[in-house]
Amino acid sequence: MTQVRDQLKDKLRLQFGEAVTFNSEFPAKTRVLPNTCNVSFHGRNRQGYKILGACKRLQASVGAACHSHGSVSKVLLACGIPAEDAINAIRLSVGRATTFRDIDEVIVDLCEALQSIDQHAGS
């Protein structure tokens, strides 16, 4: 799972560059969970729930694992994540059956979802 999660992170970095922030990366910290990745996409109207609502394949969660719907994750804020990133946060998880091909399909899905959101924001 760690290899697939790392592939996900690498593909996100390659595709989105500076437009994506990894909220689950902290200096000098050892990762405990091998299968999760918490990210935020920068830009107007890119809240996590809007992105997931526009995705056709990806199923994920917004915020942090212990966050209540309709509010900014207090856990992410307590970790020092800026509010503008915390409100856009998406928690991605991979499983034992997740393949590298699945990762490629998720990247395409995210690209299409963000394009759709950006087009509707410009209308």
Q: In what order do the strands lie in the sheet with 61-62?
A: 20-22, 36-41, 89-93, 61-62
Of 37, 55, 66, 111, the active-site residue reads 66
pTM to 2 decimals?
0.86
> Which DSSP helix (H) or strand (E) runs through 21?
strand 20-22
The predicted structure's pLDDT at residue 31? 61
The predicted structure's pLDDT at residue 20? 97
Stretch 89-117: mean pLDDT: 96
Enumerate residues 6+ apart whose C-beta is below 8 A from 49: 62
Banded model confidence at residue 34, pLDDT cuts 50, 70, 90: confident
66 is catalytic: yes
Answer yes or no: is pLDDT of 71 > 80: no
Look at 40 and 30; give whichever has higher pLDDT: 40
Share the mean pLDDT of the chain.
Answer: 88
Answer yes or no: is pLDDT of 102 > 90: yes
The predicted structure's pLDDT at residue 123? 53
In angstroms, how far is CA 26 from the centroid of its own chain? 16
